[in-house]
Structure 1
Amino acid sequence: MNTFFLSELHIYPIKSLGGISLKKAQLEEKGLQYDRRWMLVDEEGMFITQRKYFELALLAVNINDGRLIISHKTNTSQSISFDLQEDNGIHIPVVIWNDAAVGIEVNSEVSNWFSDFLKFSVKLVKMPVSEKRMVDPKYASNNEVVSFADGYPCLLIGQSSLDGLNEKLESPIKMDRFRPNFVFTGGEPHIEDRFETFYIGETLFSVAKPCARCVLITIDQQTGEKGQEPLRTLAGYRTIDKKIMFGQNLLHQEAGIISVGDELKVVTWKM
């Protein structure tokens, strides 16, 4: 009988920038509180990510005293911060993949800071509380909504899955390549593929679909350098329907508190 426990809990307040490790987090309708509630967009409103701009990996994010703080991982003199509630009030259209959504610029000073860093004009936008970006109806079960995340409110990966991958790699990698919200211990590699519904603490989750991986996982989150791994190795044993899968996208119906150490109790398994 497998026993599973939540071992890591992460949020990524600004899409494609550094994450924050937490001991406890509030789960809201769109996902964990503050997770992917901000995003960089270009002058056309198109979202900006590490997939193209590897250097975004070098920007760390923290929350302290009601402020979001962005700082360069190696050049600590490069930093800026703003109040979590701050925005200029002007709604602008933004695009994430095939989704049209709405964002509000935080302020011009913050946008200019990011523009200087990336060397082209961008804006940092915040998702309005009122914004209802829908989960793909092909996978949604109850009209779920999502933040500026790629498509789903939360992502789950088993520690065993990373351990199994690292056994196949010449140089082990960290879990941060995969940007999960939840990491759990217990079971064999990729046992999460078989989860259908489960509780973390008192909150019920369901698995929407496996997470298809892209070039982002080849970017070292400490250096911003791109390589070929682990995409090349994963392609050899985790290709499903011509996509490389690692981790599971989740849905949930109720808010709640999630804490490291919570037991993950599987209710139903996929056949």
Structure 2
Amino acid sequence: MATITALYVYPVKGCAGIKVDKAAVQATGFALDRNWMVVLEDNGKFRTQRQLPKLALVQTSLPEAALLGAPSEDAALTLTAPGMSALQVPLTPPTGLPPRLIDCTCWEWSGKACDEGEVPAEWFTQYLGKPCRLVRFAGKPKPPGAASKADVDATRRLTEEEFAPSHEVAFPDGFPFLIASEESLEDLNKRLKQPLKMNRFRPNIVVRGTGPWSEDAWASLHIGSADRGVDFDSVKPCSRCKVTTIDQETAEVGDEPLKALQAFRSGEVLEYWHQKEFTHKQHSKAVHFGWNLVPRQEGEVAVGDALQVLAARPGVGSNAAAA
């Protein structure tokens, strides 16, 4: 039986995550997952470990109730980092003060996000050594699968239409959830001189009890019991970048696992990359670990929940697991 072994929420894009026992599934991801991001002060462009590896050392903390979607009025996001005093960012703005929206970008999306003010801006500017600001996602998304371009305002962000039309996302790279398999990591580690931890891949959901790379064949899945849980569609393999080469405990940058993945997890190698969406050169050259999910409804999932595959992906051969 496939079982959920770990769940993670990453409140600030690029910073350390929080390991939780249970989490609230919302349209844009787990409650408060990637609801904040660091942007450059002069142009609003987002920054991650790709440009600033030391973001990995920023630790995040949130009250349990907030992580389950029901924060108290005095709840706050707490941030700590080497050489810095703790920073608290209230989840509820002061009464009577409307949020200050500023222009920012996250990959292809340009829109408005809530500026968290001078204190967080000064904290990140001091830590990172360049003028930055902390912004918070300001969108009010519709239920999973109900969004459309026609009703999306400047604060809301849609997923890639060719993979998941009518779904929304906060500040992850592209989709609300990322699932990864412990067996796939074990298979990858056999090909490396030094084994890597799962945190290199920053998943939201970790599963055990499947064969290596069997997640390639999942088109849809259910997490939870028959009368409780959430259905997900598995919509796109996660192409991996420099972040996977960064030690999440030290922020040191290496070469692996990208070199190892190139040998057996590139779009060119994986035979089932025949769908039109993957014929573009950027997809055939990319290397993949984990899959992006979108939810079909809101709910709650927990460590220990069973994972049931509802539908298989058509045309997926065996070479993904056998490579």
For the aligned residue pairs, the C-alpha RMSD in angstroms reads 1.3
- Corresponding residue for residue 220 of structure 1: 247
1:104 and 2:114 equivalent?
yes
The one of 217, 222, 235 equivalent to 1:208 is 235
1:242 and 2:272 equivalent?
no
- Corresponding residue for residue 5 of structure 1: 3
1:52 and 2:51 equivalent?
yes
Determine the C-alpha separation between the residues in 2 that align with 1:206 and 1:81.
35
Question: What amino acid sits opposite 1:50 in the alignment?
Answer: Q
Determine the C-alpha separation between the residues in 1 that align with 2:210 and 2:116.
43
- Corresponding residue for residue 83 of structure 1: 90
On the 8 A contact 1:86/1:106 being kept in 2, the answer is no
On the 8 A contact 1:140/1:208 being kept in 2, the answer is yes
Q: Larger deviation: 84-93 or 94-103?
A: 84-93
- Corresponding residue for residue 136 of structure 1: 160
**Greater share of residues in helix:** 2
Which 5+ residue runs of structure 1 have no aligned equivalent?
A: none
- 1:182-202 deviations in whole A, cap 9, x for unaligned? 000012111111100110112
Query: 1:153 Cα shift?
Result: 0.4
Question: What amino acid sits opposite 1:71 in the alignment?
Answer: T
- Corresponding residue for residue 212 of structure 2: 189
Task: For residue 176 of structure 1, give the secondary structure of its aligned residue in structure 2.
Answer: helix
Q: TM-score, normalised by structure 2?
A: 0.80
Question: What amino acid sits opposite 1:265 in the alignment?
Answer: Q
Task: For residue 57 of structure 1, give the secondary structure of its aligned residue in structure 2.
Answer: helix
Task: For residue 232 of structure 1, give the secondary structure of its aligned residue in structure 2.
Answer: helix
- Corresponding residue for residue 175 of structure 2: 152
Task: For residue 221 of structure 1, give the secondary structure of its aligned residue in structure 2.
Answer: coil
Task: For residue 264 of structure 2, give the secondary structure of its aligned residue in structure 1.
Answer: coil
1:170 and 2:193 equivalent?
yes
Question: What amino acid sits opposite 1:246 in the alignment?
Answer: F
Query: Could you tell me the percent identity over the aligned residues?
Result: 33
Task: For residue 102 of structure 1, give the secondary structure of its aligned residue in structure 2.
Answer: strand
Determine the C-alpha separation between the residues in 2 that align with 1:66 and 1:163.
38
- 1:154-181 deviations in whole A, cap 9, x for unaligned? 0000110111111111111110110000
Instruction: Indicate how the Cα distance of structure 1 residues 181 and 144 shifts in structure 2: closer, same or farther if over 3 A, else same.
Output: same
Q: TM-score, normalised by structure 1?
A: 0.95
Determine the C-alpha separation between the residues in 1 that align with 2:256 and 2:12.
25
| Structure with max Cα Rg | 2
1:253 and 2:296 equivalent?
yes
Question: What amino acid sits opposite 2:99 in the alignment?
Answer: G
1:66 and 2:82 equivalent?
no
- 1:67-103 deviations in whole A, cap 9, x for unaligned? 111112x54x532112122386111111111111211
Which 5+ residue runs of structure 2 have no aligned equivalent?
A: 64-73, 141-154, 268-283, 315-323
Determine the C-alpha separation between the residues in 1 that align with 2:38 and 2:93.
15
Task: For residue 187 of structure 1, give the secondary structure of its aligned residue in structure 2.
Answer: coil
On the 8 A contact 1:67/1:84 being kept in 2, the answer is yes
Question: What amino acid sits opposite 1:80 in the alignment?
Answer: L
Question: What amino acid sits opposite 1:17 in the alignment?
Answer: C
